[in-house]
């Protein structure tokens, strides 16, 4: 009879950290589970091999999700783990079609940082592009999806800057 992959307390704590904060990185899972670095990476690998979690590789960091987490939302939530990307998502959801300079001003980010995150968000299908005269514009393709994800997983995402927006969205989504 195969061993239960969650029989070990440390592995179970790591799994629970991933479950609680979808898209979490290994360091964040380590801190949440209170385990050592080697122990964390070992158990993340065993959980992945057992099919209980999935690892999404990105340019800078791997993000972990429980297996039941919808595939379509993994990449978006992985991107939303970045504070800058969250600020941009809030600006996109709360505003109309905007240019890069307008989004940079609303999100409090440099135009270069906005452009980098917009490229990634366009790849995921979260942002659509348009035109206003000679300027390229950007808008949230599915505001409800972004709001629902950020509200549902606010504990793992929220920081002081976006907490106000998430509170507003929570109220809007209840009605």
Q: Tell me if 104 is assigned to some domain.
A: yes
Among candidates 44, 23, 46, which has minimal Cα distance to 33?
Answer: 44
| pLDDT at residue 1, as a whole number | 42
Same domain? For 132 and 166 the reply is yes
44, pLDDT greater than 70: yes
Q: Tell me if 84 is assigned to some domain.
A: yes
**Could you tell me the residue range of the domain that residue 26 belongs to?**
9-68
Last residue of a domain, one of 68, 85, 105: 68
Report the C-alpha gap between 77 and 75 in whole angstroms. Answer: 6
121, pLDDT greater than 70: yes
Say if residues 6 and 52 touch (Cβ distance below 8 Å).
yes
| pLDDT at residue 163, as a whole number | 60
Same domain? For 135 and 53 the reply is no
Q: Tell me if 153 is assigned to some domain.
A: yes
Q: Tell me if 29 is assigned to some domain.
A: yes
Among candidates 154, 92, 100, which has minimal Cα distance to 125?
Answer: 92
Last residue of a domain, one of 20, 45, 68: 68
Mean pLDDT over 29-37 rounds to: 94
74, pLDDT greater than 90: no
- Highest mean pLDDT (candidates 32-41, 51-60, 81-90): 32-41
Same domain? For 120 and 171 the reply is yes
pTM value?
0.69
Same domain? For 75 and 152 the reply is yes
């Amino acid at each position: 009879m195969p061993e239960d992959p969650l029989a070990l307390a440390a592995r179970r704590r790591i799994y629970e950290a991933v479950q609680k904060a979808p898209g979490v990185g290994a360091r964040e899972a380590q801190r949440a589970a209170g385990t050592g670095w080697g122990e964390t990476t070992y158990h993340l690998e065993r959980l992945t091999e057992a099919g209980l979690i999935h690892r999404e590789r990105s340019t800078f960091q791997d993000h972990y999700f429980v297996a039941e987490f919808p595939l379509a939302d993994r990449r978006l939530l992985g991107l939303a783990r970045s504070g800058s990307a969250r600020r941009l998502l809030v600006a996109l959801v709360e505003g109309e079609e905007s240019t890069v300079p307008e989004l940079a001003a609303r999100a409090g980010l440099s135009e270069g940082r906005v452009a980098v995150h917009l490229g990634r968000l366009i790849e995921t299908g979260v942002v659509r592009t348009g035109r206003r005269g000679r300027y390229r514009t950007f808008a949230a393709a599915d505001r409800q999806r972004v709001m629902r994800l950020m509200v549902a997983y606010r504990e793992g995402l929220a920081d002081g800057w976006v907490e106000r927006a998430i509170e507003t969205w929570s109220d809007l989504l209840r009605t």
